[in-house]
A and B are shown apart, each in its own frame.
Chain A
Amino acid sequence: MPTNADILNNAPIACVLAGNDIENGDLFGQRIDPLLAQKIYSTYFVINKIYTLDPNYSGMNAACLYLWELMNKYGIRAMGYSGSGSVAPPTPSGSFTYLIPITGADFTDATNYDNPKIVGKILQIFWNDINRYILSSEYAQTSTGINILIPGFDATANPTYELLIYIVNP
């Protein structure tokens, strides 16, 4: 979907293209609203004024989409002239962290590991030393990280423990 700015940039061109098509349509018997160019222009005239003063004016997006519908195929064609209106793929605002390898030395005490990146996330934790994912009942998420509940787990005494924390929803 084009942005409001793209719609408004292309509306004047769409108005011209609609006018041309209406004229040619008369020749070839196309079914085109003979007043479409006027409708595009008057709608653009009003929206563009308000948009210039405040692009975030209440109802702006709905109004621009209404204009886009009026522009119809001429809106797409207009983009060919203006070069605007390309759709940019979404790009992440920062790098994702979805796998955090840790050792016993990273724990704050015998069972607690703190890291703000895993707070509130859905996790899967693999413990290399026992070669399996630990069960959801074997750890608890805390306000600062995780607390391992497996009996006998002692990261302080075993700083060489190796665990892999997978963040399911980074």
Chain B
Amino acid sequence: MALNPNFTSTEDLYSNNLVTFNDTSTGTDGTITVRHISILLADGTYLVPTGTSTTYIVWDYANSSILLDLITKSTAGTVTVEWFADPSQAAIYTLTKYEEWNLYDYVFLFGLLGNQTSKPIVVDDIGYWPNSWYMCTNIFQAENAITKMNDTYSAQAALDRNQELIDNQSKFF
């Protein structure tokens, strides 16, 4: 019985740098021994954990999931998973998905809300609301760029606009 390849990726709410990939394929193929994950970013580079010398991540077929210390900011990418019988040969199955991990932005905004609830004078200045809306709109744009347009460039551009505010938050909130 052939494999119907599929996978999901989930960013950790508490450690936003961590992303878990799960193999949700159905069917079986006894020849498969290993998977490779390739994450192509909008700037044309490949995203891999620190210390990885290849442009892909090796994912042992014995493990249905793999936890990766992957990102340092909200990120969009074109994710390709390949299933190999022999990694020196061509992949038997390949699946590409457009993914976005944006919890850095949500957690940052939630943290601002936390400040509002405890010490509003600190952040309740003229820039708080419009810049919050700006960030929410950018998140919305990034989500839709991925889900409706398969456009990692636009998604990453929106997320990077937010990163500018996060990096310079004392000026904006």
Residue B95 interfacial (CB < 8 Å): no
In the assembled complex, how far is the CB of residue A53 from the closest CB belonging to chain B, in whole angstroms? 5
Give the contact-size bracket for chain A.
10 to 19
Which of B110, B129, B132, B140 is close to A59, meaning CB atoms less than 8 Å apart? B110
Q: Please judge, given known A-B contacts A63-B117, A65-B117, whether A42 and B110 are in contact too, CB under 8 Å.
A: no
Interface residues contributed by chain B, number (CB under 8 Å): 17
Residue B107 interfacial (CB < 8 Å): yes
Contact check, B13 vs A42: say whether CB atoms are below 8 A apart. no
Alpha-carbon distance between A116 and B95 when the two chains are bound, in angstroms: 63
Q: Chain A, 64-80, contact with B by CB distance < 8 Å: what is the 0/1 string?
A: 01100000000000000
Q: Which of A27-78 contact B (CB under 8 A)?
A: 35, 38-39, 41-43, 45-47, 49-50, 53-54, 57, 59, 62-63, 65-66
In the assembled complex, how far is the CB of residue A130 from the closest CB belonging to chain B, in whole angstroms? 60
Contact check, A38 vs B129: say whether CB atoms are below 8 A apart. yes
Alpha-carbon distance between A54 and B113 when the two chains are bound, in angstroms: 16
Q: Which of B87-142 contact A (CB under 8 A)?
A: 103, 106-107, 109-110, 113-114, 116-118, 129, 132-133, 136, 139-140
The residues of B that contact A57 with a CB separation of less than 8 Å are 13, 110
**CB-based closest 10 A-B pairs:** A62-B117, A46-B109, A59-B114, A66-B117, A42-B136, A53-B13, A63-B113, A49-B106, A45-B136, A50-B110
Alpha-carbon distance between A66 and B114 when the two chains are bound, in angstroms: 9
Contact check, B110 vs A63: say whether CB atoms are below 8 A apart. yes
Q: Which of B13-55 contact A (CB under 8 A)?
A: 13
Alpha-carbon distance between A65 and B114 when the two chains are bound, in angstroms: 11
Q: Count chain B CB atoms within 10 A of each CB in A35, A46, A49, A53 and give the residue with the most.
A: A46
Contact check, B117 vs A43: say whether CB atoms are below 8 A apart. no
The residues of B that contact A35 with a CB separation of less than 8 Å are 129
